[in-house]
Amino acid sequence: MLAMTDAVAPTHTGELTLSSLYRDHRSWLESWLRRRLGNAWDAADLTQDTFVRVLASAQPITQMQEPRAYLVTVGKRLLANFHQRRSLEHAYLKALASLPETCVPSPERRWLVLETLHALDELLDGLPQVVRRAFLWSQLEGLGYREIAERLDISERTVKRYMAQAYEHCLLMDL
């Protein structure tokens, strides 16, 4: 449960505060997320994450006109990230299952790889899909610009532009 401080305590003016937002909408949001996820534990986690994001956001809580709409927007983004993360984990575990038993990494190593994959996924989030795909083919599969251009049916010059965009994005995100 969120700890409420004096800075977000309810006011007597009817003004929306984090405390009143949480009190009035937490249960509703958790139910909304539970219906989409199918389990209460992940719904509770994402509900909490939603309010943490609201607290950290630049939009003042006191100026929210439609709190539920705002919570749904934040919740949908977190839900999309959750599904993307799960999909990434399943793909990695599926790849591990195809390895001979002698090559399977330790649980610690698997966890480190998953965390690295999640960090990479977050780093590349925000890039257009085609730029992201070109970058991953280059970096993970070792494809050259010509091969990427053929796969995407674009010019090599466009591939170079995509790669520059991806590198710039990575550098800016690292700052």
Q: Are 99 and 26 part of one and the same domain?
A: yes
Q: Which of 107, 137, 160 is the last residue of a domain?
A: 107
Q: Are 82 and 46 in contact (CB under 8 A)?
A: yes
pTM of the model: 0.63
User: Do residues 80 and 131 both lie within one domain?
Assistant: no
Q: What distance lies between CA 112 and its chain's CA centroid?
A: 18
* Domain that residue 161 falls in: 126-175
Which positions ≥6 away from 134 have C-beta within 8 Å? 148, 152, 159, 162, 163, 166
**What separation, in Å, do the N-terminal and C-terminal C-alpha atoms of the chain show?**
32
Q: Is residue 119 domain-resident? A: no
Task: For residue 174, give every residue at least 6 positions away whose Cβ sits within 8 Å of its Cβ, in sequence order, or none.
Answer: none
Give the separation between CA 113 and CA 92, rounded to whole angstroms. Answer: 9
Structural domain total, the chain: 2
Count other Cβ atoms within 10 Å, centred on residue 58.
Answer: 4
**Residue 65 forms part of a structural domain:** yes
The pLDDT tens digits of the residues spanning 76-85 come to 999 988 998 8
136 and 56, same domain (yes or no): no
Nearest Cα to Cα of residue 71 among 23, 37, 119: 23
Is 140 in the same domain as 94?
Answer: no
Averaged over 125-139, what is the pLDDT?
89
Which residues have CB under 8 Å from 163's CB, separation 6+?
Answer: 134, 135, 138, 145
pLDDT digits (tens, 9 = 90+) for 95-113: 888 888 888 888 899 899 8
Residues 90 and 163 in one domain: no
